[in-house]
Structure 1
């Protein structure tokens, strides 16, 4: 039996690591239309036919009935993950104590495939809601807004140092409030940073130098090949978000 709920289409996209922005491009519709598809309890025949044609799949591949084993796995994963509401009433990420001195937190994750869309969608609530979730365990917590980013490329790869973030690392960062950007961005405890640049997108780097007067940051890679990954400068006015990386996990 086939189930034409939009949730099935959303599951298909997540499984194949296709973001809503890319799906909209493939279907030739707006991203808002894709979000409406996700919410639909019964997609129209024309929409279903378009999805099947544009993604070159059969009805059963997307809308087939979930088997009992899959249902059991989903329920088990839900028990392991816990509360899916990752934000509190003030918009900060929630920490849940799972044992004395151990806390679990969920964050929205920007995987590699969604990074291009994040530059325009970081302030779009619907875009953020469609991102996958990532859960981390920490031994202390600091209130704030956190986000996870999948690191791509080799610029932060250096196996000789503990701060290295090789390709595929999930870096969880705490957002630095904009009113603090003109103060010194300290490197002593967590030296890695995620910068969301207006034109360059998501940049994972360390800070080599910061000039408070000019607002210029000199960024450096961890990869020892300085010919391929030289230090470079950015202006803090060209950024839209700054995250200090507080946790790194290699998938």
Structure 2
């Protein structure tokens, strides 16, 4: 990205920051950018770093921010969580770094509002491709962001997954897959994954090839023109 493009994105982030109804305190809590730094951005003393620019742009593009600003729902800040976002371009890196806390700390974060206290390991994944798009309301579109909660390996190694309740994100050695699971054979340590798009056939996966499995908890869809 050129210097001119970075500068343009930084100016957009500052504009959104100035126009927001949210206080520096609330924005700081959600983005982990200090209140004093946000104040400097607003006052023109400093410009956002490329990393903070991306964090702010992603934060203000969130539909959750609109809900907060418009007070569309009762808000308990204890139930706003910021989770690392694995976007489409970070998926290859995540396969290598998912167990590395230092790597996870480099990922941008994205806020979600949930209706219960968050317990467990939450990660947001950006949908890639069209395998889960069949044109119905159940579809996941490319670019959708999915809030996901990890299922501990010992649970899917020893007992059946609740396959009728959830869709899943599967961190497989070949890539990150958003799928339905239509069968879980505990004895053979396999799962059968299913795509909503019928152009993609069902596939049996050996759980020995799986690094993580997540329940899809919530979908966040960026506004599209």
Residue 182 of structure 2 is matched in structure 1 by 208
Secondary structure, in 3 states, of the residue corresponding to 1:127? Answer: helix
The structure with higher relative contact order (CA 8 Å, sep 6+) is 2
In the alignment, which residue of structure 1 is the partner of 2:29? 83
Segments of 4+ moved more than 3 angstroms:
60-64, 69-82
Please state which structure has a larger fraction of its residues in helix: 2
Distance of 1:150 and 1:63 partners within structure 2? 25
Match of 1:244 in 2: 215
> What SS is found at the alignment partner of 2:187?
coil
Partners of 1:109 and 1:123 lie apart in 2 by 15
3-state secondary structure, aligned to 1:181: helix
Structure 1: distance between partners of 2:200 and 2:120? 32
Give the Å deviation of 1:85.
Answer: 7.6
Question: Does the aligned pair in 1 maintain the 2:88–2:128 contact within 8 Å?
Answer: yes
The question of 1:106 aligning with 2:52 is answered no
Give the match for residue 132 of structure 1: 108
The answer on whether the counterparts of 2:81 and 2:118 sit within 8 Å (CA) in structure 1 is no
Paired residues, number:
177
Residue 126 (structure 2) aligns with? 150
How has the CA–CA distance of structure 1 residues 159 and 79 changed in structure 2, closer, same or farther, with 3 Å as cutoff? farther
- In the TM superposition, what is the alpha-carbon distance from 1:193 to its structure 2 partner? 0.3
Query: Deviation digits for residues 40-67 of structure 1, max 9, x if unmatched?
Result: xxxxxxxxxxxxxxxxx45x76689x77
TM-fit CA distance, 1:136: 1.1
**Unmatched segments (≥5 aa) in structure 2:** 33-73
Question: Would the alpha carbon gap of residues 109 and 216 (structure 1) be closer, same or farther in structure 2, given more than 3 Å must change?
Answer: same
- Deviation track 1:14-34 (CA, whole Å, cap 9, x = no partner) reads xx6xxxxxxxxxxxxxxxxxx
How far off is 1:177 after superposition? 0.8
In structure 2, C-alpha distance between the alignment counterparts of 1:196 and 1:119, rounded to whole Å: 7
CA offsets 1:191-225 (integer angstroms, 9 cap, x no match): 21011112x110110001111100010000011x2
Mark the structure with the bigger radius of gyration.
1
Could you say which residue in structure 1 is the equivalent of 2:57? none
Number of the residue aligned with 1:119 = 95
In structure 2, the residue matched to 1:217 is 191
Is the CA contact 2:91–2:175 (under 8 Å) kept in the aligned structure 1?
Answer: yes
**Normalised TM-score (structure 2):** 0.68
Where does residue 159 of structure 1 map in the other structure? 135
Q: Secondary structure at the match of 2:208?
A: helix
Equivalent residue for 2:156? 181
Structure 1 residue 121 displacement after superposition: 1.2
